[in-house]
């Protein structure tokens, strides 16, 4: 039996629905689902779950620590807790922009203040130029005439939805995008997820003069509540998430969840060996086959 665990907070409609759906759809392949239960974790403790769907570890530090441990024990976690810890909006904008996605012009500025419990003085900040030009552009405003929010399931199954950002409302409107624009939105969302490794996400595009600008694509625990996403999309989300986690329970390889921006930008192979000293690699081979000569790499 393979078990999918759900880690979530104050959600009402999605958790029981996904657990029930995974049980129903997964039964013939021996996949079931339940709420994750945790009460302290020992090093080396074997993985109880084949897959964990994480919707709350950004708010509970212990959960994040547990999830990283679970990955080490072979659990497939959606979304990858290591990447979630590392990513930030400016970096993600920069990666997407290099990959040809339209992005509003954005500047990263030094923060204006520091928490009181951190001992930072003027001397600590001597690497910063002073004064900082706080009037500099932060982000270009896209004066959009259309706005879409895409649900994404796995990296490539993309469901664009007409979204009203002022009312924070999802609208069911299948004719909202022309086929050409819809195809571009789907392709851009796929590129973003493939590069950054998200499998459960929402990606927002503001559309101006026919160009979709990616605005917000860092929502790794997107809202799945029925009242807010409409009955129509709720049903789609439950079905597609259930099929995704069953597939990952049966076929998931943890390396699938890793970001691929190094590979996609041509810097090096995905999954972390970019720039590793060749001597380290030679050392691994030598350990496996002691007769191999060792190369000194740089």
Ligand X SMILES: Nc1ncnc2c1ncn2[C@@H]1O[C@H](COP(=O)(O)OP(=O)(O)O)[C@@H](O)[C@H]1O
Which residues would be at the binding site for Mg ion (CB under 5 A)? 216
Q: Is 215 in the site for ligand X (CB under 6 A)?
A: yes
> What residues from 103 to 122 belong to the interface with ligand X (CB under 6 A)?
104
**Which residue, 32 or 219, is less far from Mg ion as judged by CB?**
219
Contact between 206 and ligand X (CB under 6 A)?
Answer: yes
Q: What does 206 bind: Mg ion, ligand X, none (CB cut-off 5 to 8 Å by kind)?
A: ligand X
Question: Which residue reads 């769907």 in tokens?
Answer: 53
Nearer to Mg ion, 216 or 239 (CB): 216
Distance in Å, CB of 103 to ligand X, minimum: 9
- Judged by beta carbon distances under 5 to 8 A according to partner kind, the member of ligand X, Mg ion, none in contact with residue 165 is ligand X
Q: Among 140-148, 193-201, 228-236, 252-260, which window interacts with ligand X (CB under 6 A)?
A: 140-148
Q: 196 is in the binding site of which of Mg ion, ligand X, none (Cβ under 5 to 8 A by kind)?
A: none
Q: In residues, how long is the chain?
A: 298
Toward Mg ion, which CB reaches closer, 216 or 247?
216
Mask 86-105, x = binds ligand X (CB under 6 A)?
------------------x-
Is 139 among the residues that bind ligand X (CB under 6 A)? yes
Which residues are CB-neighbours of 182 under 8 A, at least 6 positions away? 160
Q: Sort 79 into a burial class: Cβ within 10 Å, 0-12 / 13-18 / 19+.
A: buried
Does 165 participate in binding ligand X (rule CB under 6 A)? yes
Contact window for ligand X (CB under 6 A) among 31-39, 136-144, 183-191, 265-273: 136-144
**Among residues 216, 235, 239, 247, the one that binds ligand X under rule CB under 6 A:** 216
Pick one of 54, 87, 199, 204: the residue that binds ligand X (CB under 6 A).
Answer: 204
Residue 113 beta carbon to ligand X: minimum distance, rounded to whole angstroms: 20
Which CB sits closer to ligand X, 216 or 239? 216
- Residue number with the smallest Cβ distance to Mg ion: 216
Residue span binding ligand X (CB under 6 A) among the ranges 24-32, 137-145, 177-185, 272-280: 137-145
- Binding of ligand X at residue 142 (CB under 6 A)? yes
Q: Which residues contact 113 (CB under 8 A, 6 or more apart)?
A: none
Contact between residue 156 and residue 189 where contact means Cβ atoms under 8 Å apart: no
Q: Can you give the binding site for ligand X, defined by CB under 6 A? A: 104, 139-142, 165, 204, 206, 215-216
């Amino acid at each position: 039996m393979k078990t999918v665990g759900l880690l979530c907070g104050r959600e009402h409609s999605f958790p029981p629905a996904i657990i029930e759906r995974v049980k129903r759809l997964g039964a013939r392949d021996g996949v079931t689902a339940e709420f994750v239960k945790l009460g302290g974790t020992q090093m080396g403790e074997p993985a109880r779950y084949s897959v964990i769907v994480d919707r709350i570890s950004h708010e509970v530090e212990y959960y994040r620590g547990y999830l990283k441990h679970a990955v080490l024990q072979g659990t497939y976690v959606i979304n990858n807790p290591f990447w979630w810890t590392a990513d930030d909006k400016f970096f993600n904008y920069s990666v997407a922009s290099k990959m040809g996605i339209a992005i509003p012009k954005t500047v990263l500025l030094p923060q204006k203040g520091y928490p009181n419990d951190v001992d930072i003085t003027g001397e600590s900040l001597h690497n910063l130029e002073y004064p900082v030009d706080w009037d500099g552009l932060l982000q270009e405003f896209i004066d959009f005439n259309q706005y879409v929010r895409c649900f994404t399931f796995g990296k490539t199954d993309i469901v664009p939805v007409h979204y009203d950002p002022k009312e924070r409302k999802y609208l069911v409107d299948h004719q909202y995008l022309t086929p050409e624009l819809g195809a571009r939105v789907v392709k851009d969302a796929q590129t973003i997820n493939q590069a950054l490794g998200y499998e459960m996400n929402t990606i927002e595009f503001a559309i101006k003069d026919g160009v979709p600008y990616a605005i917000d694509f860092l929502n790794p625990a997107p809202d799945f509540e029925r009242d807010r996403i409409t009955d129509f999309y709720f049903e789609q989300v439950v079905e597609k998430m259930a099929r995704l986690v069953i597939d990952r329970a049966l076929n998931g390889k943890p390396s699938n969840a890793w970001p691929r921006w190094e590979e996609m930008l041509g810097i090096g192979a995905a999954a972390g060996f970019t720039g590793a000293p060749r001597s380290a690699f030679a050392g691994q081979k030598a350990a496996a086959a002691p007769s191999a000569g060792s190369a000194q790499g740089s």
